[in-house]
Amino acid sequence: MNYQEITLQVCEIARTTGSFMAEERKTFDDSKIEVKGVHDLVSYVDKTAEIRIIEALQSLIPSAGFIAEEGTNDKRGERFNWVIDPLDGTTNYIHGLPIYSVSIALLDNNELVSGVVYEVGHDECFYAWKGGGAFLNGKPIRVSTRAEIGNALLATGFPYSDFSRLDSYVEMFKWAMTSARGIRRLGSAAADLAYVACGRFDAFWEYDLKPWDVAAGSLIVTEAGGKVADYKGGSDYLFGKEIVATNGFIELPL
């Protein structure tokens, strides 16, 4: 399997999807919003984008299955499965904020082998394949080399539906606020991870995330020289609903 060739084709699929979403945003209004759960929104744009992505991916690996946020296709593959978030940052999109992403990753026997994050608002396509390094719009990227927390810019995502760990999150936030150079919250975990990969952020942490939020971005971080783990330092970040990604120098007390 040529992961490089597949990844570059996925980049084009992501860009095409992003163009569709940007065009639809011009006439988007609140009447087109659906509520999936507490503070969990969706629209026809998410669903249509996912259907388009799946249709395009089916021609790349016909036997592959899908793990997709909106559940428009629940086929599972014996070896290959695509992990898809058609619109990561739906709340940003709905409110007209420019940071939202298309996130597409490929699992080969449960190992991440390809990942693409297309951050639509800035026309930035981050991508990586197993053993091939990480790239942004065709140019290689690497994580930062900052080692002092006082010089680090951190990113996080606020809890929005699961508040069971809010107290520990607030404690971590206090530590980050008083220790680091600054904290940012973009509203798209895929973009957060991509920004760690290219050195804009030095570390990122969040809990209550789904596989489609982190699959592509986590591979891009590791291929860019960074480290990705769950809060205990283990490898259960894809399905374990918690993730910390760093440049490999910064450590967070999670």
- Pairwise CA distance, residues 96 & 26, whole Å: 9
Taking 70 as the threshold, does the pLDDT of residue 40 lie above it?
A: no
pLDDT in tens, 207-241: 999 999 999 999 999 999 999 999 999 999 999 99
Structure tokens at 78: 């014996």
pLDDT at 39 over 60: no
Please state, in angstroms and rounded to a whole number, the distance separating the CA atoms of residues 183 and 155: 5
The most distant pair of C-alpha atoms in the chain lies apart, rounded to whole Å, by 51
Is the model more confident about 101 or about 74?
A: 101
pLDDT, tens digit (0-9, with 9 covering 90-100), for 166-175: 999 999 999 9
The pLDDT of residue 33 is above 90: no
Is 48 within 8 Å of 72 (Cβ atoms)?
A: no
pLDDT at 41: 58
Structure tokens given for 13 = 């699929």
- Output the pLDDT for position 70: 85
Q: What is the mean pLDDT of the chain?
A: 94
H helical segments located in 59-207: 90-94, 166-179, 189-197
pLDDT confidence of residue 206: 98
Query: Out of 41-50, 79-88, 203-212, which region has the weakest mean confidence (pLDDT)?
Result: 41-50
pLDDT tens by residue, 117-160: 999 999 999 999 999 999 999 999 999 999 999 999 999 999 88
Question: Which two tokens mark 233?
Answer: 């330092």
Whether the Cβ atoms of residue 204 and residue 218 lie closer than 8 Å to each other: no
Report residue 72's pLDDT band, with 50, 70 and 90 as the boundaries.
confident
Q: What is the pLDDT of residue 36?
A: 63
Q: What are phi and psi of 170, to 5 degrees?
A: -65, -40
Lowest-pLDDT range of 9-18, 69-78, 147-156, 198-207: 69-78
Whether 56 shows a pLDDT value over 80: the answer reads: yes
Domain architecture of the chain: domains with CATH: 3-141 (3.30.540.10), 149-246 (3.40.190.80)
